């Protein structure tokens, strides 16, 4: 006895209605030009009438390709990654791939879990938003022999493709920009302290040390960043180092929060304190004063990641590569 079928319309239903075999219908969907015009038109009509939706699971199982790519980001609510996501999504969709998104909550263990999950779903490739992974995750990825793009930061040992920017150089650049602007008692405030933030901090130290300035004014916390936290960190810093004349905040959320705190304290920005952020989110260009920041090419990173992964999916050979997408310092009213 046949198992109860799902009730869904299948290729077979279309085939029967049209009076051809199901291979012909399948072919008509994938390579229409290989089917005679008359048959094609009748098949298309039947598909329309019956509201046929192909079963991708069956297709993927049979062909070994799922036409989907996993995109893992640390956080959904952090708008930094939504730009990357847009770039990836657009590029992959054009090429006929569906993007499946997961968020790791900045945890490499959760990333590992998601890699496992998406491998089980049969994705054809991965876009990751870090270069740091668990050993097991790396083993899974290597074994799967799928194209993998690591984004956001650069690494000397990419798993496969690496698209990002040098976070340390960018941190140094904003430090130097503050120094050039005449500031001398420059602080750093950082939250979350993931790898990228640590790199920015190192860059800030590079700049200050090269100029013979003190790097003591450094306030960090593992807590996730938020506007309010920006205010809290700034308050703590003002208390410890009342002489501070500028602060580089590790991201724009903290910088905006610090700015709001300055407004609350009626502290003039940049008159009494200069502020700089990192990423170039929309808000940096909307506040008053507008915020100096490092504009990171997040959209371009996503687009490039998509482009490269599509190349690989279309047969380009595996050859580790590294793509430095650069960054731009935006000097605004806050410095």
Partner DNA sequence: TTGAAAGCGCTAACAA
Partner DNA sequence: TTGTTAGCGCTTTCAA
Partner that binds at residue 184, options a copy of itself, DNA, none, CB closer than 5 to 8 Å by kind? none
When asked if residue 29 is in the footprint of DNA (CB under 7 A), the reply is yes
Would you mind telling me the total number of residues written for the chain in this entry? 335
Partner that binds at residue 24, options DNA, a copy of itself, none, CB closer than 5 to 8 Å by kind? DNA
What is the footprint of a copy of itself within residues 60-119 (CB under 8 A)?
60-61, 64, 66, 68, 76-77, 79, 82-83, 85-86, 98, 100-101, 116-117, 119
When asked if residue 142 is in the footprint of a copy of itself (CB under 8 A), the reply is no
Return the HEC string of the chain. CCCCCCCCCCHHHHHHHHCCCHHHHHHHHHCHHHCCHHHHHHHHHHHHHHCCCCCHHHHHHHHCCCCEEEEEECCCCCHHHHHHHHHHHHHHHHCCCEEEEEECCCCHHHHHHHHHHHHHCCCCCEEECCCCCCHHHHHHHHHHCCCEEEEEECCCCCCCEEEEECHHHHHHHHHHHHHHCCCCCEEEEEECCCHHHHHHHHHHHHHHHHCCCCCCCEEEECCCCCHHHHHHHHHHHHHHCCCCCEEEECCHHHHHHHHHHHHHCCCCCCCCCEEECCECCHHHHCCCCCCEEEECCHHHHHHHHHHHHHHHHCCCCCCCEEEECCCEEECCCCC
* Number of residues lying near DNA (CB under 7 A): 33
Q: Which of 3, 266 has the CB closer to DNA?
A: 3
When asked if residue 68 is in the footprint of DNA (CB under 7 A), the reply is no
When asked if residue 41 is in the footprint of DNA (CB under 7 A), the reply is no
Pairing of strands 293-295, 328-330: antiparallel
What is the footprint of a copy of itself within residues 37-66 (CB under 8 A)?
51, 53-58, 60-61, 64, 66
Partner that binds at residue 116, options a copy of itself, DNA, none, CB closer than 5 to 8 Å by kind? a copy of itself
What binding mask, one character per residue, do residues 207-246 give for a copy of itself by CB under 8 A, x or -?
Answer: -------------------xxx-xx---------------
When asked if residue 278 is in the footprint of a copy of itself (CB under 8 A), the reply is no
Minimum Å distance from CB 46 to DNA?
Answer: 12
Residues forming the site for a copy of itself (CB under 8 A): 6-7, 51, 53-58, 60-61, 64, 66, 68, 76-77, 79, 82-83, 85-86, 98, 100-101, 116-117, 119-122, 139-140, 143, 145, 226-228, 230-231, 256-257, 260-261, 263-264, 282-283, 285-288
Which residues are at the interface with DNA (CB under 7 A)?
Answer: 1-6, 8, 10-12, 20-24, 26-27, 29-30, 33-36, 38-39, 54-55, 58-59, 61-63, 65
């Amino acid at each position: 006895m046949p198992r109860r079928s799902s009730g869904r319309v299948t290729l077979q239903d279309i085939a029967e209605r049209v009076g051809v075999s199901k291979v012909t219908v399948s072919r008509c969907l994938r390579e229409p030009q290989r089917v005679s015009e008359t048959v094609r038109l009748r098949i298309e009509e039947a598909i329309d009438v019956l509201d046929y939706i192909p079963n991708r699971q069956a297709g993927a199982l049979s062909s070994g390709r799922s036409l989907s790519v996993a995109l893992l980001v640390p956080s959904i609510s952090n708008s930094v990654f939504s730009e990357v996501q847009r770039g990836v999504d657009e590029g992959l969709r054009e090429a006929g791939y569906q993007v499946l998104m997961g968020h790791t909550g900045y945890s490499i263990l959760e990333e590992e879990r998601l890699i496992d999950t998406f491998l089980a779903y049969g994705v054809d490739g991965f876009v990751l938003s870090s270069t740091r992974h668990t050993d097991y995750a790396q083993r899974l990825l290597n074994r799967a022999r799928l194209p993998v793009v690591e984004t956001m930061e650069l690494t000397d040992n990419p798993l496969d493709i690496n698209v990002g920017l040098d976070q340390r150089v960018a941190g140094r650049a904003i430090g130097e920009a503050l120094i050039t602007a005449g500031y001398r008692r420059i602080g750093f405030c950082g939250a979350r302290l993931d790898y990228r933030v640590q790199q920015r901090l190192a860059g800030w130290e590079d700049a200050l040390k090269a100029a013979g300035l003190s790097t003591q004014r450094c306030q960090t916390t593992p807590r996730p960043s938020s506007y309010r936290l920006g205010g809290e960190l700034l308050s703590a810093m003002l208390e410890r180092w009342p002489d501070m004349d500028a602060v580089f905040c590790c991201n724009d959320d903290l910088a905006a929060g610090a700015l709001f705190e300055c407004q609350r304290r009626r502290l003039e920005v940049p008159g009494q304190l200069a502020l700089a952020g990192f990423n170039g989110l929309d808000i940096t260009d909307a506040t008053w004063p507008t915020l100096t920041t490092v504009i990171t090419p997040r959209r371009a990173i996503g687009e490039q990641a998509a482009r490269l992964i599509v190349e690989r999916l279309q047969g380009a050979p595996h050859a580790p590569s590294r793509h430095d997408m650069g960054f731009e310092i935006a000097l605004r009213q806050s410095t």
